[in-house]
Amino acid sequence: MDLEDLVENDLEKKDGVYYLRDHRSFNYSDGNATETYILDAIKGAKIIASDSRELEEKIKDWPSRYHLSRERSLAYKSLELPVSASVLEVGCGCGAITRFLGERVANVVALEGSPRRATIARARTRDLESVTVLCASFQDVVFDSRFDLIICNGVLEYAPLFVKHEDPARELIRLLASLLAPTGNLIVAIENKLGLRYFSSGKEEHTNVMFDGLEGYARFPGGPATFGFSELYEMLRQRCAFVETLLPLPDYKLPTALIRAELLDEANCADLFATLSSHDFGSHVDPRMHERLVWHELQKNHLMKMFANSYFMIAGHQEIPLLERDWLGDIYATNRSPQFMVRTTISRQKGGEIRTTKRYLESSGGALTNGATLNHVLDDSLWVNGVSIHTMITRGMLRSGANLSLEERIEGPVVAWWKAISILGVQDGAFRGEALDCIWQNAILNNGKVSFIDREWTSNKQIEPLSIIHRSVANFAAHEKYYLLRWDRSCQKISEMSLMRAVARILGIEITFQSLIAAVDCNLRVLESVYGERSSGFKRSVRLSILFANLFVPFNVSKSKDKLIGKAQAISRKVRGLPRRIVGRS
């Protein structure tokens, strides 16, 4: 692309980046050490594609995760981008979204005010002729052309820092809308200042002050500021005839799902929001509420859109959708072995019912090694409304009453869950292989009946009852450890083993040492298959021993242990001069 044909300004080119001759540098930065590390990581990588696992191996902290994670561009995978589209990305940062756009369309102008970040973006797109990187302040550029698509990803909140106007955000939207082609689209991705995270478990992302956005940024007037739904929608609607609201989950920074807001009016999405919640962002604090349960109350009162953590707005002068009309959402499972990465599409059928369809993201999807005892199965199914057994058991844990036993807290949902599993078929005290993925998170209770969703994994062998119990409890513990402070105090020191014993007593199942080892081994086999970490001999024995030992560690100790292990690993790798690995969300 010849940039001189698109802008009137005088330009100069250096190391692949165009600069305005009198550029006023925008000094936003993640810090010299961080950006130097990211630049070196990108320059040293052989594979720099938007889905590069090599770059993801370089993640060592929150900033590097933000710039190098494969999740950065997932929301854009759902869009139907014309190959011939001309794209302007305002504030491209270190080029994570730029890279994806350049892989999909023919002409991308990536605008970045920071010279160093522009250099990093150029390094990330060094092999893409479709991308032109321009280092300039947006208000200084005079464009001679209009664009089919303008991206404003995590930029609108910084308008006060680089737009000279009494109302910088509104002025930026006016300028962006003026650059849209008649059939063009503007995408604005941004945090919701009224997002549930900001009430519960996160400091304001830009000021690192708890509740700062909720208080209208009274402490830092004139600095970065995000918006609630009504504010953002009104600003866009003032300049664009068409505005559509999409919700990235858990947020726009590292999305693993993107859904149309209208899905919330047609389906109960509370468990989806809860399951995809994140607690590994840079400004995390211990939650002040159990967000899973709050999402359900917001769903009942039709308020989920107002409290979503982020927005992904598409606006234009006329309705030229970038999404299929019947599309309602996508959920991406990418933190797996490549052959098991899945895209689950939610869509409205002709009869009005909502259906989910699973497809592999890789051409080699579903491949298992010879002799595998597990199968990976993708199927289409109707959306199931209701409340998960996981959520029902969570409510039992919060129930006040020191004299209540674990059995009394969880008996109702456990019995309903077990009855539904038993319908799948029992022979000689064991279940058919189809029951392997019937964990609490995948069991939805509606009007007294339990239905199962997302059963991707089955076994060629029969499944022992304790194996299903253990997989359910282990998954439950992984999600609930963040919310222990909300549980009744009498429950906060339980372990996976004590919870498994309570479930077994309710169901009349005997736990033996042999059955316990078999249950842990079954779960390890699933983990090895999903994440591609197959091992044998001594290494596998060690993994099995660790999983077995974790059964007896109280939940509250396990949470503290995770923090201590993370700190110890960070110190160890720092001493050895190596980056600390960050494990992705499951």
Q: What is the pLDDT of residues 351-406, one digit of tens each?
A: 889 999 999 998 777 777 656 788 999 989 999 999 999 999 999 999 999 899 99
Does 248 have pLDDT greater than 90?
yes
pLDDT recorded at residue 246: 98
| pLDDT band, very low/low/confident/very high, at 571 (cuts 50, 70, 90) | very low
Confidence band (pLDDT; 50, 70, 90) for 47?
very high
How far apart, in whole angstroms, are the C-alpha atoms of residue 101 and residue 77? 10
132-146, 188-202, 272-286, 556-570: range with lowest mean pLDDT: 556-570
Q: Is the predicted pLDDT of residue 453 greater than 60, yes or no?
A: yes
CATH number of 3-246+276-317: 3.40.50.150
* Domain residue ranges of the chain, discontinuous segments joined by +: 3-246+276-317, 384-559
Mean pLDDT, residues 403-417 taken together = 96
Phi, psi of 522 (to 5 degrees): -60, -45
Q: Are 176 and 152 in contact (CB under 8 A)?
A: yes
* Tokens (6 digits) for 374: 């597990």
Residue 25 in this model has a pLDDT that exceeds 60 = yes
From residue 341, alpha-carbon distances to 104, 175, 361, 499 in Å are 20, 39, 6, 31
CA triple 234-347-318, angle to 5 deg: 35
Assess whether pLDDT exceeds 50 at residue 574: no
Which pTM does this prediction carry? Answer: 0.92
Dihedral (Cα; 350, 351, 353, 354), 10-degree rounding: 0
CB atoms within 10 A of CB 505: 15
What secondary structure does DSSP assign to 521-583, as a single string? HHHHHHHHHHHT----HHHHHHHHHHHHHHTTSBHHHHHHHHHHHHHHHHHHHHHTT-PPP-P
Interval 82-117: pLDDT, tens: 999 999 999 999 999 999 999 999 999 999 999 999
Cβ(143)–Cβ(27) under 8 Å?
A: no
pLDDT at position 191 is: 97
**Which run of H or of E encompasses 477?**
helix 465-480
- Mean pLDDT (the chain) is 90
- Residues 6+ positions from 520 with CB-CB distance below 8 Å: 470, 544, 547, 548, 551
Calpha distance 172→165 (Å, rounded): 9
Distance CA 373, CA 529 (A): 10
Whether residue 585 has pLDDT greater than 50: no
**The predicted structure's pLDDT at residue 241:** 94
Would you state the pLDDT for residue 570?
A: 44
